Chain A
Amino acid sequence: MTTKIDETNGGDTEDVAPVAKDAVAAVDPRLLVRQEGFKGYLQEFGRKLRSGDLGALPVIVGIAIIWVVYQVKDDAFLSPKNLSDLSILIVGTGLISVGIVFVLLLGEIDLSVGSLSGLAASTMAVLNIRHGVPEVLAVVIALALGAALGALHGFFFAKIGVPAFVVTLAGLLAWNGLMLQVLGTTGTLDLDDDGFVQTLSSHYFSQLIAAYGAATVAVAGFFLAQFLGARRRKAAGVPSRPLSEILVRTGVLAVIAYAAAWRLNEYKGLPLALVIFVVVLLALDFVVRRTSYGRKVIALGGNVEASRRAGINVDLVRISVYALSGLMAAFGGIMIASRIGSASQQAGTGNLLMEAIAAAVIGGTSLFGGRGSVWSALLGMLVIGSIASGMALLGVANSVQYMITGAVLLAAVVIDSVSRRTQRSAGRG
């Protein structure tokens, strides 16, 4: 990334064959070394932009545009209530989308998550209301069911070799059928208003300190992790981020975190659902970036054969990713039921599946595998949720809303494809 490149290049130039000697200078002249400090950061940024390595930039710009446009049209859009509602609205589908991110990292697809989320929600409701199973236990069983059915998809895909598209398409139909069976003739089951599940979406930490405290913990934790990481790298003699860059990053995060906390506190406080979502995101982001399991998932998305030869148990990773996708689908389904307050025959149908996949892609996770981040579920859902919530405010019909969301998805895939092509030609693919 930065500075001390000459270390690797310093070696013994004397004993190299004459052919190579002329060709290789002490520092590889082809390498664009980033300058120290803030200016270098900007240059690097510009270069990344040109080579198609856009990262989260298009989607953040997109969110800003959407918010400004809606705010101009109707100043209720950025009101504390609307933003707070938006933050709860995105949780259910966002959780499903997190599972999709993992599947997309593999370079595969999971079409069953919508039906699976509905099945989990209705199983939970039926167990609790008809059979008197305690709510917490019913939730645990529903989550386990989601993970097990996801693992089943993974088994057929990894061990039998059925294309994931077809396996999960079968799941989409079958689990929707099973959900109708489980619900029986009742149709809709209302959850206990003050029960555990409803509380997940209806509870707010109303003390001012809660939201600001959470923001402070996040910012301080981020800074500390970055700072200690940089210090360790420096001690080990490998390139590290300069302090100025860490400060800038921390500053950006602080602005976002405190602005969100302020807006949420203006309404009812910090929603529990949002806390759950962010904690899940943090945990799974850690899994992807910092554990060998996450590394295996990304490697599989890059080159299956290389992963196999590196000794990675390809089948096991595939099955586990589908199990995780199923688990997150069930979790999302339960959070959606919690927000609506009931499980019905409509649960998990409609465009839920499309929204979950679209969110991951809009947020910047590549459909082609091996590239993406768990945070794209949050960013993508903010886009989709903002569009929906703004349309609802303006009183626009569903039909228009679908068309616009469709157009946004197409735009995201176009950006993904184009940036992939540019990255190829810039050799970063």
Chain B
Amino acid sequence: MPNEPVLALRGISKRFGAVQALTDIDLEVRAGEVVALVGDNGAGKSTLVKAIAGVGPADEGVVEWEGRPVQVSRPHDAQELGIATVYQDLALCDNIDVVGNLFLGREILRAGVLDEVEMERRSRELLQTLSIRIPSVRIPIASLSGGQRQTVAIARSMLGEPKLVILDEPTAALGVEQTAQVLDLVERLRERGLAVILISHNMADVKAVADRVAVLRLGRNNGTFDVKTTSQEEIISAITGATDNAVTRRKARNAEVAK
């Protein structure tokens, strides 16, 4: 295959006590590709993301990174590989300014002292390359809108120069314009050749930016669809489990006959 997957999951399973959260999950993401991970509540999306990010390692299955099997047992392992995760609850400090948040935990030092000038310069550069519009990089996160915070959180994940970015419900609590900003940013990540896993409930968002959609249902793969050739209804029926019933079978047969 010319375009080898950056990340490939093979047969991932995860149990919590008596609950089988994930069963035999396969997933592939390639560079420059946005894969949407969709599913109903409790379908196992977050569990799968945690397995990839090293927060809650899988019980069984193989994680392949650029073709070789790897162990991701701690968040640190994932970061080493080049996997950046932006969680739903943002993980920013309200009381610190944009620059401080971008560089939190990896401050640039100059002779052992915080190099505010360099950090500010790089922050502006980073935000500019991602076309993120923030009124000022020196205002506390608390004064930013939800969409701006989300873009800061995503920009923050870019500092580690990752190859794969996982976005957990990035548009869940956002308004129309803010959602547009975030979706623009997702497209820019793809243009920069990154692999993106986008978790979303919003079919419109998924249709807008994703290349492929992987559906989880009750902890199992329930199909992977090409966004361009699949209708929203088909995806939704895969999510709700309505794929395999009389209506869809008739539809499929009719479609074949029509060909």
Asked, given contacts A23-B177, A302-B95, A307-B104, whether A292 binds B136 with beta carbons under 8 Å apart, the answer is no
CB distance from A311 to the nearest CB of B (A): 4
Within 8 A of A (CB), among B30-79: 75-76
Query: Hey, what's the 0/1 contact readout for B161-196 against A, CB within 8 Å counting as 1?
Result: 000000000000000110011011000000000000
Interface segment among B20-28, B84-92, B211-219, B229-237: the answer is B84-92
Interface segment among B2-10, B116-124, B242-250: the answer is B116-124
Query: Hey, what's the 0/1 contact readout for B143-157 against A, CB within 8 Å counting as 1?
Result: 110000000000000
CA distance A418 to B143 in the complex (A): 17
CA distance A239 to B120 in the complex (A): 9
Contact among A12, A31, A291, A371 for B112, CB-based, below 8 A = A291
CB distance from A428 to the nearest CB of B (A): 5
CA distance A195 to B144 in the complex (A): 57
B142 and A429 form a contact (CB under 8 A): yes
CB distance from B245 to the nearest CB of A (A): 37
* Residue B133, interface by CB 8 Å: yes
Task: Please name all residues of chain B whose beta carbon is closer than 8 Å to the beta carbon of A302 when the two chains form the complex.
Answer: 93-96
* Residue B17, interface by CB 8 Å: no
B113 and A237 form a contact (CB under 8 A): no
CB distance from B173 to the nearest CB of A (A): 16
A310 and B91 form a contact (CB under 8 A): yes
CA distance A12 to B129 in the complex (A): 9
B109 and A428 form a contact (CB under 8 A): no
B142 and A427 form a contact (CB under 8 A): yes
CB distance from A423 to the nearest CB of B (A): 8
B96 and A16 form a contact (CB under 8 A): no
CA distance A239 to B93 in the complex (A): 23
Asked, given contacts A31-B136, A295-B107, A306-B91, whether A11 binds B117 with beta carbons under 8 Å apart, the answer is no
Considering the complex, give the chain B residue whose CB is closest to the CB of A20: B180
Greatest chain A CB density within 10 A among B91, B104, B139, B143 is at B104
Size of the A side of the interface (Cβ < 8 Å), in residues, is 48
B107 and A292 form a contact (CB under 8 A): yes
CA distance A37 to B93 in the complex (A): 31
Size of the B side of the interface (Cβ < 8 Å), in residues, is 47
CA distance A233 to B119 in the complex (A): 11
* Residue A99, interface by CB 8 Å: no
A238 and B117 form a contact (CB under 8 A): yes
Contact among A1, A295, A298, A307 for B136, CB-based, below 8 A = A1
CA distance A264 to B181 in the complex (A): 60
CA distance A235 to B90 in the complex (A): 33
CB distance from B11 to the nearest CB of A (A): 28
Asked, given contacts A19-B177, A303-B92, whether A291 binds B114 with beta carbons under 8 Å apart, the answer is yes
Task: Please name all residues of chain A whose beta carbon is closer than 8 Å to the beta carbon of B181 when the two chains form the complex.
Answer: 20, 24
CA distance A177 to B192 in the complex (A): 65
Task: Please name all residues of chain B whose beta carbon is closer than 8 Å to the beta carbon of A306 when the two chains form the complex.
Answer: 90-93, 104
* Residue A210, interface by CB 8 Å: no
CA distance A19 to B121 in the complex (A): 29
CA distance A164 to B72 in the complex (A): 35
Asked, given contacts A8-B128, A11-B131, A302-B93, whether A292 binds B117 with beta carbons under 8 Å apart, the answer is no
Contact among A8, A10, A23, A290 for B137, CB-based, below 8 A = A8
* Residue A61, interface by CB 8 Å: no
A292 and B180 form a contact (CB under 8 A): no
A301 and B133 form a contact (CB under 8 A): no
Task: Please name all residues of chain A whose beta carbon is closer than 8 Å to the beta carbon of B95 when the two chains form the complex.
Answer: 298, 301-302, 370-371, 429
Task: Please name all residues of chain A whose beta carbon is closer than 8 Å to the beta carbon of B132 when the two chains form the complex.
Answer: 8
Within 8 A of B (CB), among A126-174: none
Query: Hey, what's the 0/1 contact readout for A236-256 against B, CB within 8 Å counting as 1?
Result: 111100000000000000000
Asked, given contacts A1-B136, A236-B117, whether A427 binds B143 with beta carbons under 8 Å apart, the answer is yes
Asked, given contacts A292-B107, A305-B89, A306-B104, whether A20 binds B184 with beta carbons under 8 Å apart, the answer is yes
Besides A28-B133, A310-B106, 4 other CB < 8 A contacts?
A: A30-B135, A301-B95, A306-B92, A309-B75
Which B residues are closer than 8 A to A by beta carbons?
75-76, 87, 89-96, 100, 104-107, 109, 112-114, 117-118, 120-121, 124, 127-129, 131-140, 142-144, 176-177, 180-181, 183-184
The 9 A-B residue pairs with the shortest CB-CB distance, nearest first, are A310-B105, A31-B135, A302-B93, A370-B95, A302-B95, A427-B143, A11-B131, A19-B180, A306-B91
Which A residues are closer than 8 A to B by beta carbons?
1, 5, 7-12, 16-17, 19-20, 23-24, 28, 30-31, 229, 232-233, 236-239, 290-292, 295, 298-299, 301-303, 305-307, 309-312, 370-371, 423-424, 426-429
